[in-house]
Structure 1
C-alpha cells in the first residue's frame, strides 16, 4: 500500500492533524504506513472508496465516527502484573506513605490511565489483596480510564485470554478467575465490581479533572506517542489530578523529568516514581 485511495500529501497531513488535536497522538511521515492501514480499514468498514468522502464523514462525526477513528489508533498491548516492580513499590512504599497523611475514613484513590482492556487496574486490585496487609482496613478506590471506548467496554466485562494471564500463577488464576470458554477466563464478579471504568482523554483538561483527586496514578506507555507539547499538557493535567504528595508511575522508557519540572523524583527500593510536591494548591 503506497497511497491512501484519493489522498494527497496535504490531505494526509490534515487527517494526522485531526487525530493529534483530538487525542494528542502524533503520527508523522515515518508512520505513514501505519496511519494508512488504519484509515483504509475504517473506509473499508464503511464502504467508502474516496478519502475526501471519508474525511468529510469523519469531520461531521457521522454515526460517531470520531470515536471509532480514535479507537483504531490506540495501542492496547498489556497483560496482568506488567512491570511488577511498580506494584511492589505501591504496596511497600507508596500507599503506606499516603495512609499517613489521610484523614480517618478518607479513601485511597488509585487511577490507571490508560487502562486498555483492564489488565492493569485489575492487577492493582489483585496485588493489593495478596500483598498489602492494610487492604482490609483501608477504603480503596481503583479507577481505570482509557480514550478507547471499546477497551473500556471490554475492561468492564473482565474476560481475558491466556496471554493476558501469562504472568499469574495457577493458584492466582484459580482464586480470582472462572473459565469462560476455551482458553478464556473471566475475573470474579467481586473484583469486577471493585474497579470503576470510565473514558478519559489525557489532553482534555476538563475530562481529566472530572475524575477528581488521586493518591497514585499509573500512566504507563502512552506519553511516548505524544509530542512535547501534548506531553506537557498531559503532565499538567495529571499533576492537577494528584493530591499534594501523590505519586505517578510511568512506563520504563518514560521519564517525567524530561517532560516537566513540576514533579519531584522519588527513588524507592523497587521503582523510581514521580511525586507532586507537598503543600501545593490545586489550580
Structure 2
C-alpha cells in the first residue's frame, strides 16, 4: 500500500477491493473485508458500521502486509490462520490443507451411510490433516470415538489442537503413521481425503493451492491413484462387517477408484455423491 496517512475504514476497504479485483482475485470485497477486520481487531458486524472511522497507522500497516500477501496469491485462510468447515473453526498450519466446502460432501456421505446405527461407533480418518473431517463426524455422532492418522507430525499436532478446540479431545486421538500400516481394526467407518492430483498436473494448479498447500497432501503420484491403492489395500482388514469406507475423489476419478474397490471386494454401494458443483466427490463402499 502507498505510504501516506491512513484514511477511513470504508475508503481503505474500497481501495483494497479494487486492487484485488484488478489482480483477478475472486470475491475481492469479501477478501478485503475479512483481512481488514482481522487487521483492526473487529468483528464482521463492527466492520460494517466502522466505515467513517479513521484507521490507526498500526492498523493500516497490518492491513497493508496482509493485502500484499493476498495479492501474491496467499489464500485468505492462510493469512488469517483459520478456516471454517462444517460450521466449526479450524486452525491451519503449513502442514495442512485448507479445508474446502467440497470436502463437506464426504461428511454428508459418511453420516448418510451410518444413519440408523445405534451404539458406540469407531471412526478412522486417514490423512487427517487439520482434523476437519474427523471433528465434523464426531460432532454429529456423539456416541462415536475417532482416530486420525497423518504422515506429517506437524499436521497431526494441528489436528490434535483442533479436536481439543472443538471439545473432542476425549473422544478422539491423532497418531503419526504411514496410512493405516500400524493400525488394527475393526472400524465402523473409515474416511479419507487423500492426495489425488496427478504429479504432472501440479504445475497447472491455481497459485493459491500450488504455492501454499503442502505438496504431500496434493501429489497423488503419476496417475493420482497411489494413495487410493494404499488405503483400499488395507480397508478389508480395517472395516468391521458392514463397515463403511468413504473416499473423496478428484475430478474424473470415480471409474478408476471404483475399479480398485471392486478388485478388493468392496464394490461401491451407489454412485459417488456429487458436491455443490456437480463433481462426483464422495464414493462410498461397504464391507459385506
Query: Smaller-chain TM-score range?
Result: 0.3 to 0.5
Higher relative helix content = 1
Q: Which has the higher contact order (CA 8 A, sep 6+)?
A: 1
* TM-score (norm. length: structure 2): 0.46
